[in-house]
Amino acid sequence: MQTRLFGVREGHGGRRGRWPGARAGAALAALVLALPATVALAPAAQAAGIPPAPGHRLVPGYEGAPATADPLPADQAPPQHPYLAPNGRAGMHGDGASSDTHPFPGPLGDHPAVSSRRMAALGGECATVAFDRGGRLLTVCGTFRGFRLKLLDPRSLDTLAEYRLPQRPSTVEALTRLDFSKIFKDTSGGAYFFLDRQDRVVLADSRQHVLRLSHSRAADGSWHFTVDDDWDLTPYVPHDCIGWTNLHPRGDCDPVTSVQPDWDGRIWWVTRKGRIGTIAPGSGAVRSVRLPGEEIQNSFSAAEDGVSIVSDHALYSLRADDDGTPRVQWRRAYDRGTGSKPGSVNQGSGTTPTLLGDAAHPYVAITDNADDRMNVLVLHRTGPDAGRLVCRVPVFGSGASTTDNSLIGYGNSLVVENNYGYENVTSLLLGKSVVGGVSRIDIRPDGSGCDTVWESGERAPSSVAKLSTANGLLYFCTKEPNRLGIDAWYLTAVDFRTGRTRFKRLTGTGPLYDNNWAPITLGPDGTAYSGVFNGLVAVRDDAPQD
């Protein structure tokens, strides 16, 4: 998946819009008019919850019934990456395999309580969430002034520390040219960060610098971020980007979209225009290659056998040579269709590669961009069959299927959601929704193919869904059509084994609660966190009141 944050910005994090500038500007103006009046009046720095739009009392606050935890076997969890924080805590997709699973329980729907935190007057979405050893949240929130790396209290969502990142060129371009589609199609700037095994955040900012930051508590109790390392990639990446002091650049600009370590500790990075590189943390040596004519808009995954990267043309497996230069082990082209679809950032796969299977049968999975029906693709990762297709499974309806979010991978199972029709936070105003659909697909034990296990009609417009292996529930951000024009957003739990919806909890109403491509993240204390357009929402089970 990815994510795109509004402003500065998803995944895996700004996103989308395929509109001309005038239409995007008009859509944003309509969005502002639809916001609660309190938003325009509230100071940006005020710590407050996200206000709901009118109509929140006219929709159900809760549907379904509490679920019973039914844990999944722990031996099918992805292996622990040696250079990342523990699985479930490390970044947008939870771990190096991008499994989108968490070993933490998540709410069961027993009197679930909702809290929220607004991070800006407009925008402020907090996409990727990671957790340090103390359970505190590390997140990057997007505003018009720039990304903010934040350390948050897990219960109150108060900001404990903040590090200001530079404004992205796409925001300057959007404001100066009134083309807000630039923001929604930008996946760069720091949203795809990771937390390493020493609780340090590693991210690529909009200056084409890779930063490694630690956080610590002072004697007076205050928290602070410190930049431990700063690797400058400008000698290797075109960086004549639009800015307030460079409104008419004449050169090329190639933003760094994602970073991730390999199993030898090198930090890999990719750019939108197909550059792939490594940094040796000890020496700072940088090596890079380029995929000519190809774009990389998603994040990537790493296992002991190599790094998996998907471009808008092909899926790649790579390793680093002794000097750190990325080398292609195999390449597999896929059906990229004849154009991008509503719900896709470009003409290609919208999925970060998902690594699954076991040591004897390791697989990698993505989706393609076939014109009529999108397909889930599973390939062998290693051995004599490396790069060979295991199965191609068409999903969802004819002419209405796409996803721009990573697949969930557990054992030999994959879960995919349909994002067709969602472009950005303006797409579903006034009670609209997407066609929806969620499917589970299993790889056969003998590797001879794949089968569809169940299909659900849930409508998850853009959420990076997650699976709790501790309770066997899948979590989505969903929205149903509403004839009264109420935009009601829910945290929805679906049984992984059966596809049955167990419960829905209203998180809020209106565009400020739009999930807008942000992940759901399950915390160590059982809370489900979700980035929304105006900040962050938390849902946790609460004891019944007397």
Tell me what pLDDT residue 10 has: 31
Number of residues that make up the chain: 546
Tell me what pLDDT residue 250 has: 86
Tell me what pLDDT residue 23 has: 43
- Rg, Å, the chain Cα set: 21
Please tell me the least confidently modeled range out of 9-18, 162-171, 294-303, 369-378. Answer: 9-18
pLDDT bracket for residue 182 (50, 70, 90): low
Residue 80 scores a pLDDT above 80 = yes
What is the number of domains present in the chain? Answer: 1
Domain contains 11 = no
Domain contains 186 = yes
Rounded mean pLDDT of 262-279?
A: 97
Give 30-77 as a DSSP string: HHHHHS-HHHHHS-TT---PPPPPTTTTSS-SEEE-PPPP-PPPGGGS
Rounded mean pLDDT of 355-363?
A: 95
Tell me what pLDDT residue 174 has: 67
Assess contact for 169 and 241: CB atoms under 8 A. yes
Portion of the chain with pLDDT greater than 90, in percent: 76
Rounded mean pLDDT of 234-242?
A: 87
Residue 31 scores a pLDDT above 90 = no
Residue 34 scores a pLDDT above 80 = no
pLDDT bracket for residue 345 (50, 70, 90): confident
| pTM for the full predicted model | 0.91
Domain contains 72 = yes
Domain contains 134 = yes
User: Greatest CA span in the chain, whole angstroms?
Assistant: 67
Rounded mean pLDDT of 521-532?
A: 97
Token pair 């380029």: residue: 290
User: What distance in Å separates the CA atoms of residue 92 and residue 194, rounded to the nearest whole number?
Assistant: 8
Domain contains 6 = no
> Over the chain, what is the mean pLDDT?
89
Assess contact for 70 and 471: CB atoms under 8 A. yes
pLDDT: which is higher, 144 or 90 = 90
Q: What is the pLDDT of residues 50-72, one digit of tens each?
A: 999 999 999 999 999 999 999 99
Tell me what pLDDT residue 353 has: 98
CA atoms within 13 A on the CB side of 256: 30
> What CATH number should be reported for the domain holding residue 129?
2.130.10.10
Distance of CA 87 to the CA centre of its chain: 16
Portion of the chain with pLDDT greater than 70, in percent: 87
Assess contact for 439 and 456: CB atoms under 8 A. yes
Tell me what pLDDT residue 499 has: 98
Token pair 């049984």: residue: 495
Domain contains 406 = yes
How many C-beta neighbours within 10 Å does residue 543 have? 8
Please tell me the least confidently modeled range out of 135-139, 150-154, 208-212, 242-246. Answer: 242-246
Tokens describing residue 39: 């938003």
Q: What is the pLDDT of residues 456-479, one digit of tens each?
A: 999 999 989 999 999 999 999 999
pLDDT bracket for residue 184 (50, 70, 90): low
Range of the domain at 61: 21-541
Domain contains 332 = yes
User: Closest by alpha carbon to 437, among 494, 362, 357, 356?
Assistant: 494
Tokens describing residue 215: 């956080």
User: What distance in Å separates the CA atoms of residue 366 and residue 522, rounded to the nearest whole number?
Assistant: 23
